[in-house]
Chain A
Amino acid sequence: MKNQIRLLLVAMLMTGICRAPANAEIPTYAETQQNAHTVKGIVKDALGPMAGVNVLIKGTATGMITNQDGSYNLSNVPVGATLEFSFIGYKTVEVTVGTDETINVTLQEDQNLLDELVVVGYGTVKKSDVTGSVSSVSAEALEKASTGDAIQALQGRAAGVQIVTAGGSPDAVAEIKIRGTGSPNGSSPLYVVDGFPLSDIKYLSPNDIASIEILKDASACAIYGSRGANGVVMITTKKAKAGALKINVKSEFGVEATPKRPEMLSSSEYAEFTNYVRDNSGLPAKYGDPSSIATNTNWFKEVMRTGIYQNHSITLSGGSDKLSTVFTTNMFNRQGTVKSTSFDRLNFSQKTQYKPFKILTLQASFTGSFMKTNSLGANGSNNKTIFLSSLIAPPDVPVWNDVTDYYSGITAFRLANPAGVIARNNSKSNLNFLMMNLNADLKITKDLMFTSRFGYNYRTILSSNFTPIYTETSNIASGNTEVYRSTTFSKDWTWENMLTYTKKIGAHDISVMAAMSARDYYREWYAGNKKNLPSEAEQFRYFDAASDTSPSLTGGAEAQGMLSYLGRINYNLLDRYLLTASFRADGSSRFVGSKKWGYFPSGAFAWKISEEPFFKNMSAKWFNMAKLRLGWGQIGNERISSYYPYQTSISQNQYYVLGDKERINGVLLSTLGNKDIQWETSEQYNAGLDLGFLTNRLTASFDIYLRKTENILLNETVPRVAGTSSIIRNVGGMQNKGLEIALGWKDDIGDFSYSIDANASFVKNSVTNLGTSGILQSNGITYDYALIDFQGQFDNIIRSTVGNPYGRFYGYKMLGIFQNQQEIDNYKSPDGTVIMPSAKPGDTIFADTNNDGKISSDDMTVIGDPNPKMVYGLSFNASWKGFDLSLLFQGTYGNDIFNASKFYFEKFDGRQNVLKSAYKSGWSKEGSTNSRPISLAYDSDDARNSQNWWQSTMYVENGSYFRLKNLQLGYTFNFKAKRNPSLRLYLSAQNLLTLTKYSGFDPEISDNGVDAGQYPQPRTFVIGVNINL
């Protein structure tokens, strides 16, 4: 009978006509037990009464959960029965019922962290049973960082994970890289939020997160097959807890400011310096009396401000065992330190759990996230470079020109008036994100569980921009009003069905999972530009108001489908020997023929040494835990830029003229397809050792790994008989070797409890294959208007070659400065050729690395490496009575930064402002300096002036830093009231202190290590309140 009901349920589930079933009977304990009586009491923990604790008569289904005041009341409890008190995160307490009618219990937090449940791909395991390399970060740790970005909150928390927040833009999203760069085609991991795979989680409020697990090695990630090669970040959002309604209100308010205020030249210094460099170049002075210049514009002040940070959330949670729900809302707002930039996010999320039967759990969740970004996307500058422009704009130019009644033009320089850029900024972007998940768990038998989950993600991006007419410089005048709008929407669903079978037979503990996953993705976009609006007023910034007769319109779409079958077996013998094997087969619409399917196996073995009898008998009682983990697997990387890489595509609008000068449309092949394209594959080996000492007060974890990526997709140069210059092929290879160390210490001294966690990761990257060309290079800088002068200076700063780390800096070696003509004449190659015959005293000496007697691009060599030798984090947490304190330090060691901004901030040529420290710092006479070339006017001797500043070791700096990332100090008030309310007040600071030798503004530089004047992360001070009711 039971089986039939279950079968019916399965059928209903599968056919999708699942109705809410009627209450099923739960067998109750016989009420006719002799010697039974009523037992009541209060369950507490260290902080007071606990609601929601499970109280159960052991071996029966009879029980209840405690009320808000922690009380329970069970009738008909037989004498001699055992009461079991359990609560997640606490040690379960068992009490034998005697004659006492009152049993009060105090629960202890479970100190044995190793027995937490860890979320892994398609399942959970006890932490002690984990066979792969997994780092867990709790919600408590995330809450210590005052940020709206969950990834940023992870910074410094996990070994093997490098997180960089590049720049201080309010919508900046941290970049995450797990175990080094695995492919030039992108290193960001896969995110899995409550089982739903996503490529980014910008929409998510950290407040909604219950825990984050980072799957690092192949044996853990291979279950995600073609999407797992860069690691997987598993995010579990907060679940409803049964019990009375709980309310949590959290509110943070803060201010942000640029930490390092750059000191630039004043007008008089600027004028004097200008005259000085003109004199150096043999040109007449430009300013008569430098000290008499009235205008002294502080552009930095015109552009920057004190930013505002706000983060408010409300969480409601409660319900019964059968039906419980959690609702959260979050409002996040940052007004950036650059005027007119901001980021807003409004989140609503609801998760409801319904257990109509003991065997069936249904869960539905919904998240809506509405983001709005105001950035300096257009109008001649962007968020990154407005900061740079505000520093280099000449101080003798007034902000406003009273004659033209408009912003002043900066004529000597290809630069927009920074205040003008801010004022006319109208670049907006709205990202609306909807996510729906349905989840059903059906316990078919005691051992067999069926899970089906369906997730649907819909997002739209609406962007707009408006360009007014502006005329302040000839270089960047717009001349026309123009409105721009774009719309992108995407739909993405994933449906997964999974069977899990677990069985313990004697010493054998087996768990088998088999699943399928289907994914369908579609994205479409269109964008248009239209000129000539009737006025610049906001109300007319729409297409129909513009009179342009030839507006531009673009659009496109892409789609992808995936189908996967996967399975895993976990075998545990004697709770000592753990074996995991998984397999996944992924099929993708992006590939054709035999390449359509990819297969990703993995295997892992763990040995709990401390469970061995010999270990238990060991005399050294301080050494209580040891576990060895070994893993291997193959994973894929699906980062392929094209959705149809197998197609040879054709481009339109290749016109020809026929007849009486008639234009005829034509087409030409554009890119060559390759039907042999497949996933990049990564093979990884991992060995780990987990140790626990002093009853796990001290824990240590070590992992070493080898990660080999093959079949990296590169555009390989081919002979032109192919019809074009290159074809995409699976030819590249890369290898990462690494070591990760995580140490933890936790102790209590009376009321004072504290913990220290430290982690460090070391990665050694090496490129093993780059196809026929053997070289991969890139500029490292995206040139926009303000950075246009870089273009002639810096050429392919970033270069990768086979046998070396990925993405090293490339340039000339600077040997010093020629102090006199004699040094120039004496600087000869082995065969006696004067190497730099046209140099003059004060010029940079470059090394003739190939000894050919001249300086040419062939002398460029490796001048730096942006890959850190070590990335580390150090956190400290302490509490005493109501006080709590946490500190997080993080940093990098052994990496170089190419400080390209020196070209602007230090090289003075009479056009732009420079740092005070660069004032007349260039070579002036024999012996004055050996590190900076002579300062020359831009309109004098261009060749020398720019040649001296070629990409060289002069720009390369030690990028190591040590930063106090977060500091939080709080005090919790506990009120002795019915609902056990509490209130915590706290102060938090971000980026409070940075120790570095780096001379730029922020050593936390985006991935490629080139600093083109990046806008630094702000220092943020936040005051927060957290109320529990």
Chain B
Amino acid sequence: MRIHKIMMATLSLALCCSCSDLLEKKPLVNLAVENYYTTEGEAKTALMGIYHVFMTENFGLYHYLHLGDNLSDDSQLGNSRSDGVAWAGNAKSLIQFNILPTNSYSGNNTWNQDFQVVTNANYLIESVTRNNIHNADKYIAEAKFLRSYVYFDMARQFGGLPLVDHVLTYEEYYKPRATEDETWEFIEQGFRDAAEGLPETWDAANIGRATKGAALAMLARTYVYHASYSKKQEDWQKAYDTIKELEKGNWFSLEPRYEDIFDMEHQNGREIIFSIQFRTSHTGWGDSNDGNMMSFYGHDAGIKLADLNKSTTTLTPDQYEFVCKKLLEEFPSNVNEDGTPKPYLKKWTGWSLHCPTLDLVNAFEPGDPRLKATVIAPNEFYDGHTHFNLSSDSGYQSKKEYVPFSYRTEESNEDDLPRNMIILRYANILLYMAETCCQLDKTGEALDYLEEVRGRARRSGDDPSALPKVTTTNKEELLEAIYHERRVELAMEYDRYWDLARTGRAGKVMKAYYQKYGNDNTHQYKGKNFIEGTHEHMPIPQAAITASYYQGVQTLEQNKGY
């Protein structure tokens, strides 16, 4: 038996020396939450990753382009000659308010990537706290800004949401939706915290990141939305106080000339509160490059080059001749001897999914210089050539997202463009303030804020008699004037539908639009099936509803009417 004991002892000895090593293998290659966020540098990359989400197609295309503008009376999908339209079948049902929860344009893409931002922000917040890194507070503040920012987008799109402020356990994935009030309060708390911790300015190398001013401005904007829905004076008062605080900071002011806001050389100018940064990176198509896609979606080359390469063209012979002539006239250096376009020109195509409507064009007062800065008119000579967009029903194109020829290179894709996407600029805050003052019955103050914006527009043009000062002190009339000002000042900047929805005017406006233009295929029956009390919000995506079943019970409630 002694032998056995020795044997066993030896055996166990031989085993134990290796066991701890064997069962605790360091994960190789894999970067993971467990081994990341340990330094300030790593925390910064985690923040940049969140900002990266804002550069993706899903971010700009749905919540902003399609819902923010195309759903409204301001802009329209291109017609059947647009490359995008066949592909954008979901967008068509969207603008007719034929919206099913399965429509990926109305929700799924936004929902998915916004919650991606939320989760990444929560991991960042928890990890830098746990690892106690240098300047943790700053990173937490910025993460909270980004988290509240996407919640803001989602709240205006969907209403109440599941509120996630920490890394969830499996059971917590099945959180129900909070009320709208709770959701706005959650967003406000996030921006308040962010404003506490964010710096007032960034050094040159970090321009583009959220600042204290951006947090206060977003906070004010959130209060405006919250107040619009709650209709409570105290919420308007909070908006008022916050804008006052923002003014004290003196971080932002209006560009003297309106069109300079959108000038490629004035990006990140004094009026910009927050914008998504882009550059041309030559790294491929879509999300694999660092460029902006919005111009690609918004525009057409003026002549549909694809048609020239097709054996069977959809153009009439007259149109075809016209297009070829235009091509030769306007771009002789870009046409081969056999009349085919050179590759350089091919890079200059777009899908025309964001075309200004005649209704918008007509909304501008006579002599308003902002119209010229907002649209490219049919046959307008601009950026060295005459524009002509067959895909736009009105013939108009958006100028605000146009990227001039000199910023496009032969090697870059047509969606790899260096124009920033403006999310919030100071004029918007001033108009929010005008609206807020009006709601608080501070009519005089409201008129001052309105005039600040209107005056700048007036000064940007040649006609000092255009855009006369608004003087009405009737609250309703003044509100209408402010709403009108918002429409023309911020036209094609992806905010129109959300403004209509929050102020309760969506139904009235869209039904009127359908009456006026809609019952006709060229206008694609825009606004046809609008239901008040339902379409102010989009449905919770069906995939999210399906995924929410926990032990047989649906935990996410669908919006009313869907």
Contacts of B278 in A (CB 8 A): 657
Q: How far is the CB of B204 from chain A (nearest CB, A)?
A: 6
Residue of B25, B51, B55 with most partner-chain A CB within 10 A = B25
**Known A-B contacts A655-B290, A722-B173; A648 and B123 likewise in contact (beta carbons under 8 Å):** yes
Restricting to A542-589, which residues have a CB under 8 Å from any CB of B? 556-563, 587-589
- Interface: B7 (CB within 8 A): yes
Contact between chains at A667 and B115 (CB < 8 Å):
no
Restricting to B168-192, which residues have a CB under 8 Å from any CB of A? 168, 170, 172-175
Contact between chains at B32 and A649 (CB < 8 Å):
yes
Q: How far is the CB of A410 from chain B (nearest CB, A)?
A: 20
**Known A-B contacts A659-B207, A666-B52; A561 and B23 likewise in contact (beta carbons under 8 Å):** yes
Compute how far the CA of A562 lies from the CA of B277 in the bound complex, rounded to whole angstroms.
49
Q: Which residue on A lies nearest to B116, using beta carbons?
A: A723
Q: Which residue on A lies nearest to B279, using beta carbons?
A: A661
Compute how far the CA of A647 lies from the CA of B28 in the bound complex, rounded to whole angstroms.
11
Contact between chains at A667 and B36 (CB < 8 Å):
yes
Q: How far is the CB of A673 from chain B (nearest CB, A)?
A: 7
**Known A-B contacts A445-B3, A650-B33; A655 and B52 likewise in contact (beta carbons under 8 Å):** yes
Compute how far the CA of A655 lies from the CA of B281 in the bound complex, rounded to whole angstroms.
10
Contact between chains at A3 and B32 (CB < 8 Å):
no
Restricting to A6-25, which residues have a CB under 8 Å from any CB of B? 6-7, 10-11, 14
Contacts of A497 in B (CB 8 A): 11, 14-15
Q: Which residue on B lies nearest to A674, using beta carbons?
A: B170
- Interface: A663 (CB within 8 A): yes
Quick one: which of B10, B208, B290, B556 contacts A659, CB cutoff 8 A?
Answer: B208
Contact between chains at A557 and B28 (CB < 8 Å):
yes
- Interface: B46 (CB within 8 A): yes
Compute how far the CA of A520 lies from the CA of B51 in the bound complex, rounded to whole angstroms.
41
**Known A-B contacts A11-B10, A717-B547, A719-B173; A559 and B119 likewise in contact (beta carbons under 8 Å):** no
Q: How far is the CB of A554 from chain B (nearest CB, A)?
A: 11
Quick one: which of B15, B22, B547 contacts A720, CB cutoff 8 A?
Answer: B547
Contact between chains at A589 and B55 (CB < 8 Å):
no
Query: What interface size band does chain A fall in?
Result: 35 or more
- Interface: A444 (CB within 8 A): yes
Quick one: which of A6, A558, A657, A720 contacts B3, CB cutoff 8 A?
Answer: A6
Compute how far the CA of A589 lies from the CA of B29 in the bound complex, rounded to whole angstroms.
16
Contact between chains at A644 and B23 (CB < 8 Å):
no
- In the complex, per-residue mask of B34-52: 1 if CB is within 8 Å of any chain A CB, else 0: 1010000010111111111
Compute how far the CA of A673 lies from the CA of B31 in the bound complex, rounded to whole angstroms.
12
Compute how far the CA of A725 lies from the CA of B173 in the bound complex, rounded to whole angstroms.
11
Contacts of A285 in B (CB 8 A): none
- In the complex, per-residue mask of B264-286: 1 if CB is within 8 Å of any chain A CB, else 0: 00000000000001110100000
Restricting to B108-129, which residues have a CB under 8 Å from any CB of A? 111-112, 115-116, 118-120, 123
Residue of B11, B278, B281, B418 with most partner-chain A CB within 10 A = B11
Compute how far the CA of A520 lies from the CA of B23 in the bound complex, rounded to whole angstroms.
9
Query: Count the B residues whose beta carbon is within 8 Å of the partner chain — how many?
Result: 75
**Known A-B contacts A7-B3, A659-B204; A589 and B24 likewise in contact (beta carbons under 8 Å):** yes
- Interface: A499 (CB within 8 A): yes
Contact between chains at A658 and B208 (CB < 8 Å):
yes
- In the complex, per-residue mask of B293-314: 1 if CB is within 8 Å of any chain A CB, else 0: 0000000000000000000000
Quick one: which of B23, B33, B555 contacts A563, CB cutoff 8 A?
Answer: B23
Contact between chains at A668 and B7 (CB < 8 Å):
no
**Known A-B contacts A563-B23, A654-B52, A658-B207; A723 and B120 likewise in contact (beta carbons under 8 Å):** yes
- Interface: A718 (CB within 8 A): yes
Q: Which residue on B lies nearest to A565, using beta carbons?
A: B15
Compute how far the CA of A11 lies from the CA of B170 in the bound complex, rounded to whole angstroms.
52
Q: Which residue on B lies nearest to A646, using beta carbons?
A: B34
Contact between chains at A518 and B290 (CB < 8 Å):
no
Quick one: which of A3, A14, A589, A723 contacts B119, CB cutoff 8 A?
Answer: A723
Restricting to A496-522, which residues have a CB under 8 Å from any CB of B? 497, 499, 516, 518-520
Compute how far the CA of A146 lies from the CA of B45 in the bound complex, rounded to whole angstroms.
59
Compute how far the CA of A667 lies from the CA of B277 in the bound complex, rounded to whole angstroms.
17
Residue of B45, B209, B277, B546 with most partner-chain A CB within 10 A = B45
Quick one: which of A658, A665, A719, A723 contacts B206, CB cutoff 8 A?
Answer: A658
Contact between chains at A669 and B544 (CB < 8 Å):
no
Contacts of B45 in A (CB 8 A): 664-667
Compute how far the CA of A648 lies from the CA of B277 in the bound complex, rounded to whole angstroms.
28
Q: How far is the CB of A612 from chain B (nearest CB, A)?
A: 36
Compute how far the CA of A874 lies from the CA of B51 in the bound complex, rounded to whole angstroms.
66
Q: Which residue on B lies nearest to A660, using beta carbons?
A: B204
Contacts of B28 in A (CB 8 A): 556-559, 643
- In the complex, per-residue mask of B1-27: 1 if CB is within 8 Å of any chain A CB, else 0: 001101110110111001101111111
Contacts of B48 in A (CB 8 A): 654-656, 658, 664-667
Compute how far the CA of A652 lies from the CA of B36 in the bound complex, rounded to whole angstroms.
12
Contact between chains at A721 and B32 (CB < 8 Å):
no
Contacts of B173 in A (CB 8 A): 718-719, 721-722
Q: How far is the CB of A586 from chain B (nearest CB, A)?
A: 10
Contacts of A99 in B (CB 8 A): none
Q: How far is the CB of A690 from chain B (nearest CB, A)?
A: 36
Compute how far the CA of A644 lies from the CA of B8 in the bound complex, rounded to whole angstroms.
33
- Interface: A772 (CB within 8 A): yes
Compute how far the CA of A663 lies from the CA of B3 in the bound complex, rounded to whole angstroms.
69
Contacts of B209 in A (CB 8 A): 658
Quick one: which of B14, B26, B49, B175 contacts A668, CB cutoff 8 A?
Answer: B49
Q: How far is the CB of B4 from chain A (nearest CB, A)?
A: 7
Residue of B26, B48, B418 with most partner-chain A CB within 10 A = B48
Q: Which residue on A lies nearest to B42, using beta carbons?
A: A667
Contacts of A656 in B (CB 8 A): 48-49, 51-52, 55, 208, 277, 290
Quick one: which of A661, A668, A721, A772 contacts B162, CB cutoff 8 A?
Answer: A721
Quick one: which of B15, B46, B548 contacts A518, CB cutoff 8 A?
Answer: B15
Q: How far is the CB of A45 from chain B (nearest CB, A)?
A: 42
Compute how far the CA of A561 lies from the CA of B27 in the bound complex, rounded to whole angstroms.
11
Contact between chains at B7 and A444 (CB < 8 Å):
yes
Contacts of B26 in A (CB 8 A): 559
Q: How far is the CB of B130 from chain A (nearest CB, A)?
A: 14
- Interface: B406 (CB within 8 A): no
Residue of A655, A660, A663, A673 with most partner-chain B CB within 10 A = A655
Restricting to B210-246, which residues have a CB under 8 Å from any CB of A? none
- Interface: A724 (CB within 8 A): yes
Contacts of A661 in B (CB 8 A): 277, 279, 418
- Interface: B382 (CB within 8 A): no
Contacts of B123 in A (CB 8 A): 648, 669, 723
Quick one: which of A3, A516, A668, A720 contacts B52, CB cutoff 8 A?
Answer: A668
Contacts of A667 in B (CB 8 A): 31, 36, 42, 45-46, 48-49
- Interface: B250 (CB within 8 A): no
- Interface: A270 (CB within 8 A): no
Contacts of B111 in A (CB 8 A): 720
Compute how far the CA of A792 lies from the CA of B555 in the bound complex, rounded to whole angstroms.
35
Q: How far is the CB of A548 from chain B (nearest CB, A)?
A: 16
Compute how far the CA of A561 lies from the CA of B21 in the bound complex, rounded to whole angstroms.
8
Q: How far is the CB of B411 from chain A (nearest CB, A)?
A: 13
Which residues on A are within 8 Å of B, measured CB to CB?
Answer: 3, 6-7, 10-11, 14, 444-445, 448, 450, 497, 499, 516, 518-520, 556-563, 587-589, 596, 643-644, 647-652, 654-669, 673, 717-725, 727, 772
> Which 3 residue pairs across A and B have the least CB separation, nearest first?
A723-B119, A666-B48, A561-B22
- Can you list 30 A-B contacts (CB < 8 A)? A497-B14, A499-B8, A557-B29, A559-B26, A559-B28, A563-B15, A589-B22, A643-B25, A644-B30, A647-B33, A650-B33, A655-B55, A659-B205, A661-B418, A662-B205, A663-B279, A666-B45, A666-B51, A667-B42, A667-B49, A668-B50, A669-B116, A717-B546, A719-B175, A720-B112, A720-B116, A720-B547, A721-B115, A721-B168, A722-B115
17 more A-B contacts (CB under 8 A) besides A10-B10, A668-B49?
A516-B15, A518-B22, A561-B21, A561-B23, A563-B18, A643-B27, A654-B49, A654-B53, A655-B55, A657-B208, A657-B290, A661-B279, A664-B48, A718-B170, A722-B168, A723-B118, A772-B550
